[in-house]
Amino acid sequence: MKRILFCAWMLFIFPMSSLAGDKDVSHVQEYFDTLVVKIQQHVIKGPMAEEVAKYAIIRQLHEDGDNKPKGYSVPGLSFGHPIKGIVNCTDLEGCVTSSANDSDGVPMYVFKGENAVVISGVLITKVFDHFVMNMNLFKEKDIEIWDRSKKDSYLLANRIDLDEYRVRFNENKSERDKIIRRCNQLYGPAGNSIEQRIKKIWQQ
């Protein structure tokens, strides 16, 4: 079954007044579908991309705040290892990078360009994946579930839709959600409020 475009689905199911703040809603309407596509191209294939994109898009909005000009994003990524390597191996799709110091004087990546918001969301997703796979922050069981889920998601995306993969992918969803929530907490402050904003939008 083809993925229904989020914007149309959301507006059909929920009246606008029942959702989160107007800024969150309009931001998701504008960028979510494109972000999912880019995550599938650059990080995680298949349905798992949508699960992570929900957190990446609201985390990006939180980091940027409500008043950033269009085509400009500062997603809370500091210079240095391992972020520099993650940025360098990502197709920035024409975005120009520069730096700006945060309130503590730490230089942070700035992305300027038409796709700045989406590229920031892709990079946040890559950082989440790096947290799980490369930083010894998760139990071995969680790493195995994450890695297996990425593989199953890839297989489902390529229509290798065997019951074994689909059932296992669905069975691991609750554990996958816990991992994504922890990645959001590890990324920076306001993890709980971001989670509440996500729940309001997707009525979880």
pTM: 0.88
Question: Can you give the pLDDT at residue 21?
Answer: 73
Residue 78 forms part of a structural domain: yes
Only one residue has tokens 């989440």, namely 128
Residue 25 lies in a domain: yes
* DSSP letter, residue 3: P
| pLDDT score for 161 | 61
Calculate what percentage of the chain has a pLDDT beyond 70.
Answer: 89
Tell me if 95 is assigned to some domain: yes
Residue 193 inside a domain? The answer is: no
Q: Is 158 within a domain?
A: yes
Residue 89 corresponds to which tokens in the numbers above?
Answer: 């191996």
Orientation of helix 140-157 relative to helix 116-134, angle to 10°: 130
How many domains are there within the chain?
Answer: 1
What mean pLDDT is predicted for residues 112-135?
98
Are 107 and 100 in contact, with CB atoms under 8 Å apart? yes
Query: Would 169 be classed as within a structural domain?
Result: yes
**What value does the mean pLDDT of the chain take?**
89
Cα(160)–Cα(156) distance, integer angstroms: 5
Q: Does 73 reside within a domain?
A: yes
Q: Which residue is associated with the tokens 């069975």? A: 171
Q: How many CB atoms are located within 10 Å of the residue 170 CB?
A: 11
What is residue 112's three-state secondary structure?
Answer: strand
Does a structural domain hold residue 117? yes
Tens of pLDDT along 126-175? 999 999 999 999 999 999 999 999 999 999 998 876 788 899 999 999 99
The model's pLDDT over 6-43, given as tens digits with 9 standing for 90+, comes to 333 333 333 333 445 788 999 999 999 999 999 999 99
105: DSSP letter:
S
Q: Which helix (H) or strand (E) holds 96?
A: strand 96-101
Distances in Å between the alpha carbon of 132 and those of 38, 123, 135, 138? 20, 14, 7, 6
Across the range 75-92, mean pLDDT stands at 94
Question: What's the confidence (pLDDT) of residue 66?
Answer: 80
Structural domain span for residue 180: 21-187
Is the separation of the CB atoms in 75 and 124 below 8 Å? yes
